Structure 1
Amino acid sequence: MKNLCFWLFHILIISNVSLFAQQNNLQGAYKMKQGDVNALWLFADGYTSMIYYHDKVYMYTTGGPFALENNSITIETEYHDQDSTLIGQSVQHRFTVDDGNLRDSDGNEWVKQDAKDQGLDGLWRITGRMQQGEMGQIQRGDRKTIKLLIDGYFQWIAINPARRGFYGTGGGEYTFQDGRYAEHILFFSRDNTRIGTSLQFEGEVKGKEWHHTGLSSTGNKIYEIWTRE
């Protein structure tokens, strides 16, 4: 019995290591273009997001935790602002790999962007916000605001998967160097007039926390704490 338990435990460890390695192989930012439609597909820390947008108009986004097996990506959908009935459903994407790029079952090529490790890549969740001079803790619950950063691209998403709630998203390109964090907005669900603008912030990583200060897209002062998921 002890030997059986040992081998079952050993198999479980190998399976988890294999899954982690597969997800890491996929980790990165991929871009695809169809006519005047841009598409961005982000993978980091076992989470993925797909965004569609025109040069000046946001379209929609969908994503959630993913698993990779052979040439199939299975996404446990946490948000989809075009079709909320898909939230909570598993969505499968078949693909092949060609020179590091992905080709989906429709024949679209998703071109992998160059790796740009700037110390912020990964999945983050907002856990603190300064209000009236005091840092308030944001309790964990069904509603959450997360931020996915990988290889110079970012996206924040405000959602409540339990209620199929979607409250906004935005993203684009980012840089983080010498305590300066900058965003260039490529899509913004709440206000298309913000697309093309750039924002500058102060940033510091303290352990698993990212302290983020500056002015928001509306010009308001912010001090936020984001924690790695």
Structure 2
Amino acid sequence: MKKCILTILACILCLSIQAQTLLGAWENTKSTVDGQQLKNVVVFSEGHQVSTWFNANTGAFVSTNGGGWSLNGNLITETVEFDSKTPSRVGSQVSFEIELSENALQIKGMDTVWNRIDEGGPGNLAGAWLMSGRKRNGEFQNRNTDQPRKTMKILSGTRFQWIAYNTETQQFMATGGGTYTTIDGKYTENIEFFSRDNSRVGASLQFDFKVKDGDWHHSGFSSKGDPLYEVWSLRNQ
């Protein structure tokens, strides 16, 4: 009888976790390294996630990692596609148990708690996107999204992050991210970290955007002032 009750309780716990959703953005602001207060932001989209650390006060980039993920009960399994700090992890899988409530996420056995930022709203572009085309010198160029060299952008309802990496060579190239809005056909990025240039932190960039035939068309000017037209396609694997 006791064993039966424990089994039922375990099933209820699994159903409770599955009823909650990891989708959206989470943050922890209580980590410190060498006296620096760090912010760790984690974004979960359907099938893909990214976790990034940066200085909470200056925006100085520290590290990022991410890739695919799946959840079975309270066990999350991540497949590493990029890791700026430990590239040798690319291609590996890691599994751990989580404790999930409506507004808090915790890895079982750890004290760190991530608080929910959003559940995928109100922005209109939540998901994991791969750059699939761009205009250069007025000429449109398609880009093969199946190749190892990828530029991925993961968005929740309020957070964005792009990452350039190569799964074959395990190389991490660059990343940047922060908050975003989509209002009246305008997509606005507010940069909170940029791995190549800390001076970009605090900048806001506005672009025209539309979703056409499932693809995100994105046009305007880059942070360097160069004309920009990009097409992004939702990841399906």
TM-score range, shorter chain: 0.7 to 0.9
Are 2:182 and 1:176 equivalent residues in the alignment? yes
1:61 counterpart (57, 60, 64): 64
Displacement of 1:151: 1.7
Q: How far is 1:94 from its partner?
A: 2.7
Distance 1:23 1:169, change over 3 A: farther
Give the alignment's Cα RMSD to 1 decimal.
Answer: 1.8
In 1, the alpha carbon distance for the partners of 2:168 and 2:214 equals: 26
Which amino acid is the alignment partner of residue 94 of structure 2? V
Q: Which moved more, 1:93-102 or 1:31-40?
A: 93-102
1:107 equivalent to 2:107? Answer no
Match for residue 13 of structure 1?
none
| Structure 1 pair 23–125 and aligned structure 2 pair: CA distance change class (3 A) | farther
| Cα shift readout 1:204-226 (whole Å, capped 9, x = no counterpart) | 11121111011112221100011
Unmatched tracts of structure 1, length 5 or more: 1-17
Percent identical residues = 35
Size of the aligned set, in residue pairs, is: 210
Per mean C-alpha deviation after superposition, the further-off stretch among 95-104 and 185-194 is 95-104
Q: Distance in 2 between matches of 1:66 and 1:206?
A: 27
Q: What are the residue-to-residue correspondences of 1:38-77 with 2, within 5 Å? A: 38-54=39-55, 55-56=57-58, 57-77=60-80
Shift of 1:100: 2.9
Give a deviation string over 1:147-177, Cα, whole Å, max 9, x none. Answer: 1011210000111111101111000000011
CA distance in 1, matches of 2:20, 2:178: 22
Matched, 1:225 2:221: no
Amino acid at match of 1:29: A
Task: Give the secondary-structure state (helix, strand or coil) at the position aligned to 2:168.
Answer: helix
Residue 23 of structure 1 contacts residue 46 of structure 1 at CA under 8 Å; is this kept in 2? no
Range with greater deviation from structure 2 (67-76 or 199-208): 67-76
Kindly indicate whether the alpha-carbon contact (under 8 Å) linking 1:23 and 1:67 is maintained by their aligned counterparts in 2. no
Matches within 5 A, 1:147-158: 147-158=153-164
Report deviation, 1:24: 7.9
Say if 1:23 and 1:68, in contact at 8 Å, map to a contact too: no
Deviation beyond 4 Å, 4+ runs, structure 1: 21-24
Change (3 A) 1:180 1:46: same
Look up the SS of the partner of 1:147 in the other structure.
strand
Contact 1:96/1:102 (<8 A) preserved = yes
Give the secondary structure class of the aligned counterpart of 2:118.
coil
Does the 8 A contact of 2:134 with 2:142 survive in 1?
yes
Give the structure 1 partner of residue 172 of structure 2.
166
Instruction: Report if aligned partners of 1:79, 1:87 keep a CA contact under 8 Å in 2.
Output: yes
Structure 2 residue runs without a partner (length 5+): 1-13
TM-score, length basis structure 2 = 0.84
Distance 2:194 2:19 in 1: 28
